[in-house]
Amino acid sequence: MDVSVLYNIFPQETFGTLIAIYFYLTGLSAGSFVLSTLAYVFGVDKYKPIGKIGVILAALFLILAPVALLVHVGQPLKAWHLFVHLNVTSPITWGSFLLTLYPINCVIYGWFMFKGNHKMTRLFGTIGIPLAVFVHGYTGFILALGKARALWNTALMPFLFLVSAMVSGIALMIIISLIKDRFFSQEKKVNRELIFGLGNLLAAMILIDLFLVLSDVLVLLVSHTEAQEAAHLLLKGKFSILFIWVENIMGKVLPVILLLLPRLRNLTTVTIASIMVIVGIFIMRYVVVLGGEFLPLV
């Protein structure tokens, strides 16, 4: 007796666009917070004008980011379970506490900053730096621990997330600073030294980001079969346009050229470069999250 078994099972997406948004917003928060500490913790006075902006943005994005996460999980009213059913080996458990402690520290840090208490501002700024790093770094660990997903399962993932967080944070800070100086300051004059200083810092971080991305892709290409398929997905497959042209060419290579070539660098080109970077880093989050799940498990 012949038996035919027919089935049609499609792989499910554990993570989706909302998780990409969540990763993106936590990265913007971490980058903004670290920038705010340049003056108030490390004493680099030329960055003092962005200190208060940075802490406001950091707190704002950390309020918005968990919203995307809670909507994704489908049952947000059960989020409290993460604090009572603990698994110390899970980055999600650690992340739950970090997502609570970090915004509280942001508020305290900002409070003392606006009150002019420099000693306490420096203290909570110093405490906040590792919190900001861990809050965004743990998201990279969540993906890196996905052993069955070749695109995620790399020790570089937390560093890719952290560096890209700084890239997007600096780019956003440039845009916000330009808007503030142009439209909301008494002088209506842009602080060119600050903008070009941030532009140089942005270019340096983009180059580091490009090095990490190149290293990751090269290792995928010479690794096992599943890793090679993931690399081809980025270079020749469904995500190639987003990965090559939007994330890296538009979002990194062209901005670096605009930021580093003296003939091209002015307030307009720095603004354009920053906008392209902001878009490119979001696409990076999208490609990593959705691309990592695109190839079916075998």
CA distance 13 to 18: 12
What pLDDT is attached to residue 92?
83
Tens of pLDDT, residues 34-81: 999 999 999 999 999 999 999 999 999 998 998 998 888 888 888 888
State the residue range of the domain holding 52: 13-145
More confidently predicted of 10 and 162: 162
What pLDDT is attached to residue 51?
95
**Is 197 part of any domain?**
yes
What pLDDT is attached to residue 297?
76
pLDDT band for position 86 (cuts 50, 70, 90): confident
CA distance 2 to 230: 38
What pLDDT is attached to residue 1?
54
What pLDDT is attached to residue 258?
98
**Is 164 part of any domain?**
no
Q: Is the pLDDT of residue 6 over 60?
A: no
Q: Rg for the chain (alpha carbons), in Å?
A: 21
Same domain? For 17 and 86 the reply is yes
Work out the burial of residue 135: count CB atoms within 10 Å of its CB; fewer than 13 is exposed, 13-18 middle, 19 or more buried.
Answer: buried
What is the pLDDT of the chain when averaged over all its residues? 92
CA distance 139 to 91: 8
Tens of pLDDT, residues 196-254: 999 999 999 999 999 999 999 999 999 999 999 999 999 999 999 999 999 999 999 99
**Is 165 part of any domain?**
no
Same domain? For 133 and 194 the reply is no
Same domain? For 93 and 208 the reply is no
Q: Give the pair of three-digit tokens for residue 71.
A: 């909507």
CB 287 within 8 A of CB 157: no
Say what the pTM is. Answer: 0.93
pLDDT band for position 292 (cuts 50, 70, 90): very high
Same domain? For 195 and 260 the reply is yes
Least confidently predicted of 85-99, 117-131, 274-288: 85-99
Same domain? For 139 and 199 the reply is no
The residue among 215, 210, 218, 228 whose CA lies nearest residue 284 is 210
- Domain end residue (candidates: 145, 175, 197): 145
What pLDDT is attached to residue 199?
97
What pLDDT is attached to residue 77?
81
Same domain? For 141 and 192 the reply is no
What pLDDT is attached to residue 15?
86
Least confidently predicted of 92-101, 153-162, 166-175: 92-101
Q: Give backbone dihedrals phi and psi of 26, rounded to 5 degrees, phi first.
A: -65, -35
Same domain? For 129 and 193 the reply is no
**Is 271 part of any domain?**
yes
Q: In whole angstroms, how far apart are CA 276 and each of 109, 116, 178, 184?
A: 31, 35, 16, 24
CB 246 within 8 A of CB 228: no
Same domain? For 19 and 137 the reply is yes
What pLDDT is attached to residue 150?
94
CA distance 251 to 246: 6
Same domain? For 133 and 28 the reply is yes
Same domain? For 141 and 24 the reply is yes
How many structural domains does the chain have?
Answer: 2
Run of H or E residues at 33: helix 17-40
Mean pLDDT, residues 147-176: 95
**Is 2 part of any domain?**
no
- Domain end residue (candidates: 114, 145, 176): 145
Q: Is the pLDDT of residue 12 over 80?
A: no
What pLDDT is attached to residue 7?
57
What pLDDT is attached to residue 190?
94
Same domain? For 36 and 102 the reply is yes
- Domain end residue (candidates: 88, 115, 145): 145
Q: What CATH number corresponds to the domain at position 68?
A: 1.20.1630.10
Same domain? For 248 and 197 the reply is yes
**Is 1 part of any domain?**
no
What pLDDT is attached to residue 216?
97
